[in-house]
A and B are shown apart, each in its own frame.
Chain A
Amino acid sequence: MVAPISTLTTRQTTRQTHMIKRAIALLLLFAVGTLFASLLLGYVPDSELNHTARYYAERTAGDVGAANIVTAIVVTYRGLDTLGEVTVLFISAAIVGLVLAQDRLPSDAPRQPRVPVSELLSTGSRALTPLILLLGVYVFVNGHLTPGGGFQGGAIVASGMLLLLLADPLKQFSHQLISVLESLSGLLFVGIGVLGVLLAGGFLDNRLLPIGTLGELFSAGVIPVIYSLIGLKVGAEFSSMLASLSETEET
């Protein structure tokens, strides 16, 4: 007789704590919502560009030579931040690999495919992957002219890798190749930055190469080179994240 009553009371207490938690959450949300509402009602859109934005809009064409102002900010004006961003991404990819490393099966362990890969799927993925990679490369090489750039192109390259992974779950990427590609492009990125200190105006200055005509592929100094390196690095990092989250299996 005692046991059901005690379980009943624990259930009641959990229900009560559940309700209290929900009430606290709603109260907190109400406070945050009031804050947001006051921000929204007091918002007056600017009619003129502010000081910083005006500087970038005026100077980008002459100083940097990139048609895409966002790219000029990301790669040249705030290039140091982008270096930091790529580093953060590298660290998080490394931690994902590290946390999941113990679960990884030894690569020579026998693995049975659950469902055999069909001919259509494997052929289709083999035909599509080069096209996806090409699109990714196009996006990051043209980052200074059109919307897009290293991060978008890198993500597209990683989606190509994703297609390979989905079509054949047992496929093993060469981690060696990914890490070599990743560290090489990172080193070259920093190397170009240091060369900018020595030969041009400062760290990551893009005037190592001639600025050229606005709107041409070979213009904007080293921005296409740097953005391609960022694209390779980001693509490699995303691919390694995807690979380590998908291929490790519970032991």
Chain B
Amino acid sequence: MISLAQMAMAAGFILILIGFYGALTQRNLLRMIVAFTIADTGVNIVLVAVGHMRGRTAPILDVAVPAADAVARVIDPVPQALVLTAIVIGLGVTALMLAYALKLHARKHTLDIAKMTELKW
């Protein structure tokens, strides 16, 4: 019987692969950025799944989870804090990529990566 975490982790890995495939094979800049955001989501799912433990609840202390037996009841909070950061930075990176794509389009009037040959050798 596979656990919840393993299932989510498999889905996350598949998303990363789909995102990489898109980023490697697409020629339209915006489509490459879309593929990158999908890979980003996949990485986040894998990280959260690593922290998940069967039969435990979210790391929030309240009446249901008193502070005294928190160690036995909550899941690992560290990956969650990490992913929180990663999602916010992910939006910053996406906005940056989009701004550069916009700039390239304004300069070249195309989004086709194959037509941007300045650095080609």
Please tell me whether chains A and B touch each other in their complex, using a CB distance cut-off of 8 A.
yes
**Chain A's interface: helix, strand, loop or mixed, by majority?**
helix
B103 CB contacts on chain A under 8 angstroms:
99-100
User: Of A60-68, A125-133, A160-168, which stretch is located at the interface?
Assistant: A60-68
* Contacting pair A69 B6 (CB below 8 A): no
Q: Flag if B52 contacts A241 (CB, 8 Å).
A: no
| A residues near B102, Cβ cutoff 8 Å | 99-100, 245
Q: Mark A1-43, 1 if CB is under 8 A from B, else 0.
A: 0000000000000000000011001101100110011011001
**Given contacts A57-B71, A73-B77, A81-B85, A96 and B96 within 8 Å (CB-CB):** yes
* B76-121 residues at the A interface, CB under 8 angstroms: 76-78, 80-81, 84-85, 87-89, 91-93, 95-96, 98-100, 102-103, 106
A234 near B88 with CB under 8 A, answer: yes
Chain A residue total in the interface (Cβ 8 A)? 57
Candidates A67, A78, A100; contact of B62 at CB < 8 Å: A67
The distance in angstroms between the C-alpha atoms of A88 and B85, with both chains bound, is 11
Q: Which of A44-52, A106-114, A170-178, A199-207 has 4 or more CB atoms under 8 Å from chain B?
A: A44-52
**A81 contact set on B, CB distance < 8 A:** 85
Q: Is the CB of A103 within 8 A of B106?
A: yes
Q: How far is the CA of A58 from the CA of B74 in the complex (A)?
A: 11
Q: Please tell me if the beta carbons of A215 and B78 are within 8 angstroms of each other in the complex.
A: no
Give the residues in chain B near A61, CB-CB below 8 Å: 61, 67, 70
**A85–B85 contact, CB under 8 A?**
yes
Report A-chain residues with C-beta under 8 Å of the C-beta of B61: 60-61, 67-69, 214-215
Which chain A residues lie closer than 8 Å to B54 at the CB level? 45
B residues within 8 A CB of A21? 24-25
Type the 1/0 row for A199-222, where 1 means its CB is closer than 8 Å to any CB of B: 000000000000000110000000
Cα separation A77 to B107 with both chains bound (whole Å): 46
